[in-house]
Structure 1
Amino acid sequence: MPIRFHAVSLAVLAAAMLPAAAEMADSQNSFIETVTVTAQKRVQNPIEVPMALTAYSGDFLKKIDAQEFDKLSLYTPGFVVQNQSPNNPGLVLRGLTLDSGDSSQEPRVSVFEDDVSISTTRATYIELFDIERVEVARGPQTTLFGRAALMGGVNVIQNKADPSAKSFALGAEAGDYGYWMAEGMANIPLSDDFAVRVSGRAKTRQGYVKNLLGGADYNSVGTIAGRLAFNYKPTDALNVDVIFNYESDKPSGTSFKSGTFAPFDPNTGAVLGNLDHNSGAALTTVPGFENNKQLGLDRKVWDAKALVSYTLTPAVKLSSVTAYRRFDSEEVFDPDGFSQPLLVSAEDARGDQFSQELRVNYDDGGRFSAFGGVDYFYSNVSQRVPLQFDERLALTLLTGQNPMLAQPTAFFSTPTFVGGYAPALVQGLAQGLYFKNFGTLYAMPAATAAGIAKNLKANHWEQSENFGKTKSVDLYADVTVKVTEAFELEGGVRYTTDDKVTSYAATTADRSVLGGLIGAMSLPAPMRDAVIGGLATPGAGSTSAIPASLLPAFALFYQPTANNGDKIAKGFSDDGLTWRFSARYALDKDLSLYANYARGRRPKVLTALTPSQPFGPPNFSPADAETVDSYEVGAKTEALDGKLHADIAVYTYQYANFQTVMMLNNTPITTNAGHANAWGIESQLEWAITDWADFFGTYAYNRARFAGTSMYKGNQFRLNPDHKLSAGLALHTEMFGGTVTLLPTYTFQSKIYFDDDNDIAALQTGHLLPDTKQDELQKSYGLFNARLSYAPENAIWSASVFVNNVFNRKYIKDAGNAGDNLGIPTFIAGEPRFFGVAVALKTH
């Protein structure tokens, strides 16, 4: 049972601290820092970088407890992360989202780990431990980060092994909901020029959405991550880092909770809960599905990389980045959101990638500097989506008999349903579909309807698979010219060429009688009657009883490819040019103004869809390359002897061929939504107000809308709030022989929609069933967190207590999902109040 916690004691302590805070806290407790960055492929102070950029050190991330991307995004303007599960995150920069798991998709947001792309969504979400810094560059950065950085890039720079000193660190946390976390690091020099560094983190937390059917609660945490790093520096000119990463995630099932059906016991029909999105849920899988796997995720990600740099001359530096990365994840989930075995599904995503980058930097300290290079990228990714459904329950849903679905599951095997209700539902469905397709009435004979009803199966299985293979070569160059000591111009260009292959396969276990009925109603009368006559024959659900040569092997969602599972491929090529230009003027060493223009490009996409009929060819759907033109001006300053850091950026951008995802017969497809535009303001402030108080905050306004002749004209981009802000105030005082720090933080975001259609019924024509209620959104909300820390003077340890979501604010982090395609959207609850304690040890 989760323990309830109140923050009164923290408020009282804060009041007590203020009078006693005259003494200056130790500088190691300061939240104000200057982080050197390498966003432009060279070491710079952020004030020198002519773009909107947020950089946080690993120490700062620890202070605000940002262990993952979703927590980092709370304190980064223009950056939003939706953590549905580690397998299915949504990363958003200035309104553009990286979250599709389809193997053919191209990301819009680039995520890097030590300059190595990890932008494949099912392998993007990683633990942020033993980190040197994180850089978030906003705006089109394809010239710097490559193909995926249409609207920005995130680069996680890990701590490297260091031959200069031995060091270690340990940390542990524990809290309610059975939470515990342990992490550690050891840096061991083995000689003057060789060192090894080992680090890792393990954490677990029970789910926070109660499983009303018993078993593991939903939305738990179960993560183990580790890293092994080597550094070899035989001379001042040569440096070699070799790094191995591994992460395993095994959380319980995601709480896709129905907004239509209250939780109930499928054996008795007894109501167990209510429709509150944040209360308990009753979700199920079915015996035998995916070898009896339970709801939840099993994901493994590992990589190996070698970073080599060689200083050829004082002005010329050569760099090489070689990397291999692999991921393997399977998530079983209940997409209908309630306890009936209407539909259960899984996603099995696998892939590997290899990349090699060679770069040369030139900088002699004069007016001219430049870098250029070549990048080779290869990826081979697959996504398998098996699903199993009960045709009797599906018929009930398709005919609008939702109250009947609250009956115990056994009811659908009784003569009352099979011989009574079901034949009438079959007739009603057939009549409605035929009238919709042909505009004429069709009355199915009662005997035929009864035969079809008897053949409906309790378990029908189908599977689709998509594959994407990419070979890409990039050539890029960037030049900076200092026109005067205060004024500099910069320009960059990148050319990308791709050879890609999209493949598709689909399989069905026997024949879907329901799928055949729906398909028959799209056929003219003679063919219609032949098919429904076959479907009414005893054993029609089995291709053994009635071969596919006599009656097609119909599916409901995924019509099988040739030979019931052949892999059909289609290749294509694509190339394109991106560029950026910027100007920066330093009014003095502490104040910089800049302006930039950039063209971003997302390559052409070829999505594969299910065949139109059993054993037919897949339908390949192309979407043209997406482009964006961005204009930005900004100012950055470091004032008050470094005690004040601030920046502001104002931008606007226009899209052409905006690629969005729509549902078509339970399959997400990428389509061209036309034009879109946006404008916004982003700002950051860090201020050491006094010796005992540090303030940090961010604000972003981003008005991103579809425009022109787009089918979504006027709609807000998905997962994109117009307003987003964060604020933190660190209060320090000398007390109890050490430093006590109280850190309250507040984060806020305005209303967001979870789909580009903004849950407007008229825009959901590809759904199997209409969803007429506009409720798939999250209204404005804010979260208040607090952390109280104590660090003894001249000691290597510290301790903290923390509370997240102090006021237990209810919110959702996703809505719609696969259930939306069936007219029964599901909702995923956000995290409730958590509290705990932490201890840490660190030495050099």
Structure 2
Amino acid sequence: MTKGSKRWLGASVATMALLAATAVAAQTRQFNVPSEEAAKSIPEFARQAGVQITAPVSELRGRRTPAITGQQDVRSALAKLLTGTGLEVASDNGATIILRRAATPTRISADGGTEQPASVLDEVVVTAQKRSENAQNVPITLTAFGARDLERRNIEQVSDLSRFTPGFNAAQFSYGKPIFAIRGAENTFSAAGATKPVGVFIDEVYIPRFSASNITLSDVQSVSVLKGPQGTLFGRNVTAGAILVQTREPSLQGVEANARAGVGNYGLREFSGYVSTPLSDETAVSLSVNREQRDGFGKDLLTGRDEDDADTWAARGKFLFKPNDAFKLQLSADYGRDKNGGRALSALTGSDTDRRTSQLGVVQTFERDMAGGSVRIDYGDGPIKLTSITGYRYSDTFEIFSRSGLSYLSLASGFQEIGEERERDSAFSQEGRLTYDGEALSLIAGVFYFNEDSERGFRKYRLNARTGAITMDNFYDQDVRTTSAAPFADATWHVTDRFDLTGGVRYTYEDKDAREVLTSKTAPATSFTGIASQSWSEVTYRGVATWRPTRDVTLYGSYATGFTAGGFNTEADVIGAFRAYFNPERSASFELGLKSRFAEGRGRFNVAAFSTKYKDKQEFVFNNLTFVGNIINAAQASARGVEADIAYSPIRALTFSGTFAYLHGEYDQFVIPGAAAATGNPLGNSPRYTYSLSADLDQPMAWGRLLASASYSHKDSYRPSATLPQAIPATGLLNAQVGVGALDERWRLILWGRNLTNEQYPLIISNYSVNAEWLAPPRTFGLRLSYRYQ
């Protein structure tokens, strides 16, 4: 099949001739087939073997094969190549081999007829170890989502992943301040001089500010959430975990396109589209767009303005140049913009009993522009490959919001505090690495460089109760420049065919130059200009032992360390607090895990137990003796727990799945000056028990396909922070969708619903002058029509 020919994907009966051959294969051949996507490795294997191989195209997507090297018997080598792919040989006449999706043998029913063979579960390819691998084969605790998973679960943003990811919790203080916590590790700092313990990466490029990290998941090939310290392979060393978003690559094989349009309640209008086309046998381009508009879930009764509405759009373009199997160049660029009327922060006291309306009297707004690009070069056609990834990310966020839940007009005492924030961030990153995949040793070694300039302006002012007199008006002008460099290496020794030992190490050097200019209109004598710089260095490492007693079972044990970078209090009210920098937060984690398949590939069961220690944990502390708030290395903490996921497909059309997490996290030592000790308090954003249950149906009928999905997720109550006594209540969400589609999957019509029981639960609670809450979205539903051309 020529590279420029047209492919029809998605039909289960579609087949593709990967290579024509004219002779029967010899008994042994010399192979040099690298580990890569099945759509590329299988035709290359066929060429080297001198046979013709035909495979169902729809089953090659998202599957990856191991490397095959050396002089080997053709059939034995093919068996190794297909390991873990879910494919098997259907027929073999010597010169032509036909592959199919692996399944249990056809069963004879009670009436003497045949039953449809059961299916093999969908598998997701991830880059958790800087190489594309089947998620089930990676000895790391992670939760992976393919494009189909995202669609079935109605997952649209990074924060939505938390409902189906054990150990991951997502909340929000405001639209510009999402809170991501993995295994209880998080912080709520927004100062330019602080770093988050959870890293978000898109196409292996780090997104430095959380204000730009809760991105829309369109044009995505896979998303994976890695749990625990990521101190070896990832450029921005983190103590808690990483979220990896991998977008789709343009196809050289033919035109691929899809479009989706929908409407829903609250005036929802949405559209998304994707097209990929080859320009020649060596080049291809793709373009994706996403647009959404929606009315507000809430309203400010004093201003009459909608709150919690949506107006977003995003676009991404990619260019692929692949003149041969040894060289690949990818260029990517994206831009997105979203805006709304701010959050509906509703007071828990007063005359208004509607929890979705507010009485703030502030013209709130949220506006965000994001852009980025990357250049990726892969070179190598064999066990050695060189990779260069050059990335740039930019974000510009502006937000006005009331920090207090009532207008000063309704307050009997105290004040209404209002925040105005502008944040501009630009970051350049460069990673170069060498990957070697041999029979006895696999190695990744490289260097990572990162440079970031974060500018943040934060105005905080208070309006006195009843009168509205301004009692405080401070502006914090912040500028922080970060430079980081880190060489790293990670090697796996394949001791036997079933036992691996992995060791990795990274040395990180980081330097921060910080400036804060505090201007106070109400107390000019407190104004100051502070300039400071500090550097840190850290060695982090990991060790993993992996045993695969059978092809369907992986057992592993690991020890890993990580750190969250130190920084400065660039929103300090006194110059002493600004100069008192805080050091890195460190973590060390033990983990034991099992990944397994059962029922001949129709089932999956994964479980992991972990114990993590946090040292010099970064916390914001309000000193009741000096009346100054500050970020300090205040606490020692620990977390332990169990995470599990299971999936089972009793018949080809039906799949059941579930997740479970138990988390016990607490502060082992946390003393707050002038206040009650927080030692023994639970970690913030760490619910004790979470679980989810899902069922998915895709049943072919005479007229088309019947489609249905339902999911329920539960989250225990939890504290949003160690020092805030109010708790976010336990919640359970029910989502579902039902629809019809074409047999060849070209079109679908789906009726969907989220939060069908209309649970009212807060994203965050506030105690500025009055107790208040900001509710998560209510029940939403809509109709979507999608079309796919391939």
TM range (shorter): 0.7 to 0.9
Amino acid at match of 1:136: V
**1:657 matched residue in structure 2:** 616
- Equivalent residues in 2 for 1:14-53 (5 A)? 32-53=121-142
- Is this contact kept in 1: 2:604–2:647, CA < 8 A? yes
Query: How far off is 1:214 after superposition?
Result: 4.8
- Is this contact kept in 2: 1:504–1:618, CA < 8 A? no
**1:837 matched residue in structure 2:** 783
1:470-523 Cα deviation digits (max 9, x unpaired):
1000110001001111111000000000111121111233xx2xx5xxxxxxxx
**1:9 matched residue in structure 2:** none
Aligned mates of 2:383, 2:191 — CA distance in 1 = 44
Query: How far off is 1:251 after superposition?
Result: 1.4
Query: How far off is 1:460 after superposition?
Result: 6.3
2:394 to 306, 326, 329: 326
Runs of 4+ in 1 over 4 A off after TM superposition: 22-27, 83-86, 457-460, 663-668
Structure 1 position 679 matched with structure 2 position 640: yes
1:550-577 Cα deviation digits (max 9, x unpaired):
xxx35xxxx312xxxxx42101110000
> How has the CA–CA distance of structure 1 residues 25 and 155 changed in structure 2, closer, same or farther, with 3 Å as cutoff?
farther
**1:787 matched residue in structure 2:** 737
Aligned mates of 1:508, 1:757 — CA distance in 2 = 28
- Is this contact kept in 2: 1:746–1:783, CA < 8 A? yes
**2:493 matched residue in structure 1:** 481
Query: How far off is 1:636 after superposition?
Result: 0.6
**2:460 matched residue in structure 1:** 387
SS of the residue corresponding to residue 71 of structure 1 reads: helix
1:566-595 Cα deviation digits (max 9, x unpaired):
x42101110000000000000111111100
1:438-477 Cα deviation digits (max 9, x unpaired):
xxxxxxxxxxxxxxxxxxx458643112222110001100
Amino acid at match of 1:828: W
**2:686 matched residue in structure 1:** 720
**1:281 matched residue in structure 2:** 358
Amino acid at match of 2:545: A
**1:646 matched residue in structure 2:** 605
SS of the residue corresponding to residue 699 of structure 1 reads: strand
Aligned mates of 1:489, 1:727 — CA distance in 2 = 35
Aligned mates of 2:115, 2:157 — CA distance in 1 = 31
Structure 1 position 375 matched with structure 2 position 448: yes
Aligned mates of 2:317, 2:157 — CA distance in 1 = 20
Q: Which stretch has the larger CA shift, 49-58 or 299-308?
A: 49-58
1:327-366 Cα deviation digits (max 9, x unpaired):
11100111122133733221111110000000001112x1
Aligned mates of 1:84, 1:570 — CA distance in 2 = 29
**1:218 matched residue in structure 2:** 307
SS of the residue corresponding to residue 354 of structure 1 reads: strand
1:464 to 433, 456, 476: 476
SS of the residue corresponding to residue 249 of structure 2 reads: coil
- Is this contact kept in 2: 1:660–1:756, CA < 8 A? no
Q: Which stretch has the larger CA shift, 343-352 or 493-502?
A: 343-352
Decide which structure has greater helix share.
1
**1:804 matched residue in structure 2:** 754
> How has the CA–CA distance of structure 1 residues 611 and 789 changed in structure 2, closer, same or farther, with 3 Å as cutoff?
closer
1:206 to 295, 311, 314: 295
Structure 1 position 704 matched with structure 2 position 772: no
Query: How far off is 1:48 after superposition?
Result: 2.3
Amino acid at match of 1:598: A
**1:346 matched residue in structure 2:** 420
2:238 to 125, 140, 149: 149
- Equivalent residues in 2 for 1:282-681 (5 A)? 282-285=359-362, 294-311=363-380, 314-340=382-408, 342-364=416-438, 366-390=439-463, 392-393=464-465, 405=466, 412=467, 457=469, 461-509=473-521, 512=522, 553-554=524-525, 559-561=526-528, 567-608=529-570, 610=572, 612=574, 619-663=578-622, 669-681=630-642
User: Whose radius of gyration is greater, 1 or 2?
Assistant: 1
Amino acid at match of 1:504: E
**2:69 matched residue in structure 1:** none
Q: Which stretch has the larger CA shift, 574-583 or 156-165?
A: 156-165
> How has the CA–CA distance of structure 1 residues 736 and 217 changed in structure 2, closer, same or farther, with 3 Å as cutoff?
farther
Query: How far off is 1:234 after superposition?
Result: 1.4
- Is this contact kept in 1: 2:298–2:344, CA < 8 A? yes
**2:21 matched residue in structure 1:** none
Query: How far off is 1:718 after superposition?
Result: 1.2
Query: How far off is 1:708 after superposition?
Result: 3.8
> How has the CA–CA distance of structure 1 residues 259 and 209 changed in structure 2, closer, same or farther, with 3 Å as cutoff?
same
1:747 to 713, 716, 729: 713
Query: How far off is 1:324 after superposition?
Result: 1.1
Query: How far off is 1:63 after superposition?
Result: 1.9
Amino acid at match of 1:486: R
SS of the residue corresponding to residue 102 of structure 1 reads: coil
Amino acid at match of 2:359: A
**1:693 matched residue in structure 2:** 654
Structure 1 gaps of 5+ residues are 1-21, 263-270, 286-293, 394-404, 406-411, 414-456, 516-552, 562-566, 760-775
**1:536 matched residue in structure 2:** none
1:363-409 Cα deviation digits (max 9, x unpaired):
12x1111110000000010221113433x43xxxxxxxxxxx4xxxx
Structure 2 gaps of 5+ residues are 1-112, 410-415, 672-676
Aligned mates of 1:681, 1:189 — CA distance in 2 = 46
Aligned mates of 1:23, 1:249 — CA distance in 2 = 54
**2:178 matched residue in structure 1:** 89
Amino acid at match of 1:826: A
- Is this contact kept in 1: 2:344–2:356, CA < 8 A? no
Query: How far off is 1:85 after superposition?
Result: 4.7
Query: How far off is 1:67 after superposition?
Result: 0.9
> How has the CA–CA distance of structure 1 residues 34 and 619 changed in structure 2, closer, same or farther, with 3 Å as cutoff?
closer
- Equivalent residues in 2 for 1:14-163 (5 A)? 32-97=121-186, 99-163=188-252
- Is this contact kept in 1: 2:299–2:344, CA < 8 A? no
> How has the CA–CA distance of structure 1 residues 797 and 382 changed in structure 2, closer, same or farther, with 3 Å as cutoff?
same
SS of the residue corresponding to residue 215 of structure 1 reads: coil
Aligned mates of 1:184, 1:491 — CA distance in 2 = 43
- Is this contact kept in 2: 1:137–1:152, CA < 8 A? yes
Query: How far off is 1:625 after superposition?
Result: 2.2
**1:534 matched residue in structure 2:** none
Count of aligned pairs:
665
> How has the CA–CA distance of structure 1 residues 460 and 750 changed in structure 2, closer, same or farther, with 3 Å as cutoff?
closer
**1:12 matched residue in structure 2:** none
> TM-score, structure 1 length as denominator?
0.76
Query: How far off is 1:24 after superposition?
Result: 9.1
Query: How far off is 1:604 after superposition?
Result: 2.4
Decide which structure has greater strand share.
2
Aligned mates of 1:785, 1:677 — CA distance in 2 = 34
> How has the CA–CA distance of structure 1 residues 488 and 84 changed in structure 2, closer, same or farther, with 3 Å as cutoff?
same
> How has the CA–CA distance of structure 1 residues 617 and 585 changed in structure 2, closer, same or farther, with 3 Å as cutoff?
closer
Query: How far off is 1:231 after superposition?
Result: 0.7
Query: How far off is 1:734 after superposition?
Result: 4.2
Query: How far off is 1:646 after superposition?
Result: 1.5
SS of the residue corresponding to residue 125 of structure 2 reads: coil
> How has the CA–CA distance of structure 1 residues 35 and 795 changed in structure 2, closer, same or farther, with 3 Å as cutoff?
closer
Aligned mates of 2:250, 2:778 — CA distance in 1 = 38
Q: Which stretch has the larger CA shift, 339-348 or 688-697?
A: 339-348
